[in-house]
A = this chain, B = another copy of it.
Amino acid sequence: MQLGIVGLGRMGGNIARRLMREGHHTVVHDRNGPAIDTLVAEGAKGANDLAALVQQLDKPRAVWVMLPAGEPTEQTIAQLADLLEPDDVIIDGGNTFYKDDIRRAQHLAERQLHYVDVGTSGGVWGLERGYCMMIGGEQAIFERLEPLFATLAPGEGDIPRTRGRSGPSERAEKGYIHAGPPGAGHYVKMVHNGIEYGLMQAYAEGFDILKTKASESLPVDQRFDLNLTEIAEVWRRGSVVTSWLLDLTADALVADPQLGSYSGSVSDSGEGRWTIDAAVEQAVPVPVLSSALFARFRSRQQQGTYGDKLLSAMRFGFGGHVEKSE
């Protein structure tokens, strides 16, 4: 098949590569010229602007926008909408808020354009491992584009089949699903990231306990001289907490058990926040997912917060307690 791709960063570029490897054709654009050149050297057709990109695609066209969520994606889709023709498809592969997907799909539908949202996990490993994709959009359009998704997805690989499944592999077993109408793809991806935050924080807290127990500031008779690198490794072997995130933890600890190259200032992205907003909107208690997000917020405030200062002020007020430095 043929696909237009706008945005040739790490994700967009590798999507083009993985498609071309399997014989698909791509027409690519990026506002950064050399990024286009690189892909052209690998077999893509280049386009210096969106109009040129649209012109080089056969109808009905499909254009994959792989840009940062928010303004860059919003503006590009608006421009494409003016250039495309009825029955063409715009695919948003970024980290868009699902309510924006719904709004866009409705606007584009008025022009007889189709909108597909693709939530993708597996980021930098996608070229090698394939992309895990959760896709929102009309059923017919999803099916029209399915050869692309099938190529981008990891496929069955050597992952043991889920107990109780039989017969030919379903899409999910190949690594992509049609999650529902526009917005559903990014909705599922959003919750995926919410879970991801929770999983990561669970490991972080556990290793923090282990690290503290090994701390030289503890009296010798209360201390265990634990080897965190070995603990992460052994848990990869038949324990209940086995996971890819644990594998990455084991990698990091082999490289440096002190994790000395990190300051511990942890960013968060839209999905983690939107997951909490969605849970609040749906009245679902999410103490773990919210705690994980808040831990990241807190990690970026290396100074005492105003709230913490207020605690100290109250303690001074009722008990005359003076802050200790620890």
Contact = CB atoms under 8 A, between A and B. Distances in A.
A37 interface: no
Interface string A240-259: 11111111111110110001
DSSP majority for the A interface?
A: helix
A325 B264 CA distance: 10
A227 B177 contact: yes
A109 interface: no
A78 interface: no
A134 B307 CA distance: 21
A211 interface: yes
A283 B272 CA distance: 11
A325 B263 contact: yes
A204 B282 contact: no
Contacts of A320: 10, 123-124
B318 A202 contact: no
B132 A224 contact: no
Contact of A239 (B132, B160, B170, B263): B132
Interface string A152-169: 011001011011110000
A248 B314 contact: yes
Contact of A244 (B234, B249, B298, B318): B318
A290 interface: yes
A303 to B, nearest CB: 7
A169 to B, nearest CB: 10
A319 B296 CA distance: 17
A132 to B, nearest CB: 4
Contact of A162 (B125, B195, B233): B233
19 contacts: A154-B238, A162-B236, A173-B233, A184-B224, A188-B226, A192-B240, A198-B201, A198-B288, A205-B279, A205-B307, A208-B306, A213-B278, A252-B310, A259-B309, A266-B315, A267-B323, A276-B280, A285-B298, A295-B307
Interface of A: 10, 121-126, 129-134, 153-154, 157, 159-160, 162-165, 170-177, 179-181, 183-184, 187-188, 191-213, 224-227, 229-231, 233-252, 254-255, 259, 262-268, 273, 275-300, 302-321, 323-326
